[in-house]
Amino acid sequence: MLGVAIACGLIYGVVVGSFSGQSQWWAAPIKISLGLMISALICLPSLYIFGCLSGSEARPWEMAGLLAGLLMLMTLLLVGFAPVAWLFSQSTESVAWMGALHLLFWLVATAFALRFLHAGYARFHARSSAGLYVWIVIFLLVMLQMTTALRPIVGTADTFLPKDKKFFLDYWFNTMDQKAEAKTQGTTK
């Protein structure tokens, strides 16, 4: 399952990298696959703990299997979105628009993958899903932050990884502010 998830992540990454070309052809696939795996690794212990606290009888490797299944389903769905993403990436030059589109595809894929996780979680006799919902919020935040920690994924930069550290909301607001400022300057000229 992890092998399929990595392969699908690499395929979708090539499509993401096709927007900027050059070094992004290889950098984006690596960052997407690596980011997904690291996010899963960071969140696996807390998934197991929340499971146990909810009364789930799952063993650690069973939780790891559930998480691997989630990643596989998510990346398979992303590959399904890849032709649409490629078409848009060839017909626009806006990094913000492409970023938003990839985020939308990722959200849809993640929503379906989380449904799978929820169904699997219930099979381990968990008394409540509250812990799982908390974990889902943590997992989404970690993955969103990973996109900022490994930036740029859609656009380009001089270095493989960013020089300064930022939280994802901070980064998004800064990027949007810069875009708005550039637009205003362009209009006044």
Partner 1 sequence: MAHAAELAVLLRGETRAMELWARYPDARRFLLNAAAIVGGAGVYGAAMGWWRAPEQALFAAIKFPPIVLLTTLGNAVLNAMLAPLLGLNISFRQSLSAVLMSFAVAGIILAAFSPLAAFVVWNAPPMTPETIQTWSYNFIKVTHVAAIAFAGVAGNVRLLQLLVEIGGSRQVARRVLVAWLAVNLFLGSRLSWILRPFIGAPHLPVAFVRENALENWSSRCWAWRSRAA
Identify the three-state secondary structure at position 123. Answer: coil
Residue 147 touches partner 1, criterion: CB under 8 A: no
- Quick one: 170 or 181, whose CB is closer to partner 1? 170
Total residue length of the chain: 189
Pick one of 22, 91, 93, 164: the residue that binds partner 1 (CB under 8 A): 164
Confirm if 16 and 85 have CB atoms less than 8 A apart. yes
Residue 48 touches partner 1, criterion: CB under 8 A: yes
Residue 140 touches partner 1, criterion: CB under 8 A: no
CA–CA dist 64, 34 (Å, integer): 17
Q: Min. distance of Cβ 108 from partner 1 in angstroms?
A: 25
Task: Give which of 76, 70, 77, 88 is closest to 15, Cα–Cα.
Answer: 88
Token pair for residue 165? 């550290």
Residue 166 touches partner 1, criterion: CB under 8 A: yes
Identify the three-state secondary structure at position 167. Answer: coil
- Quick one: 21 or 45, whose CB is closer to partner 1? 45
Confirm if 154 and 20 have CB atoms less than 8 A apart. yes
Residue 60 touches partner 1, criterion: CB under 8 A: yes
Confirm if 141 and 45 have CB atoms less than 8 A apart. no
Residue 175 touches partner 1, criterion: CB under 8 A: no
Residue 165 touches partner 1, criterion: CB under 8 A: yes
- Quick one: 11 or 140, whose CB is closer to partner 1? 140
Pick one of 14, 52, 103, 108: the residue that binds partner 1 (CB under 8 A): 52
Pick one of 21, 41, 128, 184: the residue that binds partner 1 (CB under 8 A): 41
113 burial (CB, 10 Å; 0-12 / 13-18 / 19+) is buried
Residues forming contacts to partner 1 in the complex (CB under 8 A) are: 41-43, 45-46, 48-49, 52-53, 55-57, 59-60, 138, 142, 145, 148-149, 164-167
